[in-house]
Structure 1
């Protein structure tokens, strides 16, 4: 399941609840880079939507959990959502609720709060251009039993990956790369976390 929609469709009138939110709305902070360079913590999803107006969300997975209680069987939904602006910002989040829509909303909100910067570049020895179309060097990430490697690719290669991973990398802003996976990539929760950790290491490693 992968529905994409712009965060602008969800925008309501925002009344910030935190100092950071008020500074963003007042124009004292004008970019996500400022927030990360100063080590500030984002506690409102509206901050991300305001500073990255072109950010999109993608429902990665929705699962049903049925639990037996004294009152009978209770059904709950688990949602996994990824967000990104296709230009160097990416996040993932999970949500649980008794209704699918609420679970997706919770997961989307959590994904905004988990947004990280992704360092884009051209680490391909075959290409050596200056455009931000791939990763600057090989990165690796782990999630559960899944390990993922993202290897720089030359321009025009495209994303050599399974459909789910390809969609996540595109959301982060990658256009060309090879990928290698180890473990059961059918588990979307682990696979998505492996992608997130690999992309996060573009900054922590380099």
Structure 2
């Protein structure tokens, strides 16, 4: 093998450039440190407020996603739906992306948010931040007359909520039945912490913007009325 060939291949072993073919270690994204900016955020960071229920009982408004991350470190976020918004302007066709994200800990908390941007990644980030700010506590229980147990596997009573043209009703079910619901509706209920329930839906349920609002309106009633 000639010297020119060896220089291109990195030597007789053919390891290539970069010191024997070793790849650079992938840098993990650094977690952003939350610096509270509001009075409520400073109280949460100082440990004066330790639950979302305390915030709601005092009638305070959550304006920082860091508050939710601090109080609910086990919160998960999932992209529920994405789409494209196209609009004709004087400069031509404008294209934007929209995303709907749900945040829940599968144990009594759920929030849903929507974001729009010219970039999909930014739209998802906006929706995730909005979902964090919209997190609400949900009262779980067993409202089924067939079960009558003391475990928190369903809703405590029948609830109905509306979002746009969509109306959703959630009915308590006995333990072991599972969630009788469509794919995306079922996943939202799982994020909220429900394990057993019957559901009925009316309207244009493929429109996830209205459907997610209807589900959140349903589940909010368990805390406000329970």
Give the paired residue count. Answer: 198
Equivalences for residues 1-206 of structure 1 within 5 A: 11-206=31-226
CA distance in 2, matches of 1:90, 1:11: 23
Name the SS for the 2:212 alignment partner: helix
**Aligned-CA RMSD value:** 1.3
CA distance in 2, matches of 1:162, 1:71: 41
CA distance in 1, matches of 2:48, 2:219: 29
Superposed displacement of residue 152, structure 1: 0.3
Greater radius of gyration (CA): 2
CA distance in 2, matches of 1:69, 1:125: 57
CA distance in 2, matches of 1:76, 1:187: 18
Q: Which runs of 5+ in 1 are unaligned?
A: 1-8
Superposed displacement of residue 10, structure 1: 8.3
* TM-score, scaled to structure 2: 0.84
Superposed displacement of residue 72, structure 1: 2.5
Residue of structure 2 equivalent to 1:3: none
> Relative CO higher for 1 or 2, CA cutoff 8 Å, sep ≥ 6?
1
Q: What do residues 31-50 of structure 1 show as CA deviations (whole Å, max 9, x unaligned)?
A: 22211221211000010011
The structure-2 alpha-carbon separation of the partners of 1:29 and 1:175, relative to structure 1 and needing over 3 Å to count, comes to: same
Q: What do residues 76-100 of structure 1 show as CA deviations (whole Å, max 9, x unaligned)?
A: 0111111111111111111111100
* TM-score, scaled to structure 1: 0.92
Q: Which runs of 5+ in 2 are unaligned?
A: 1-28
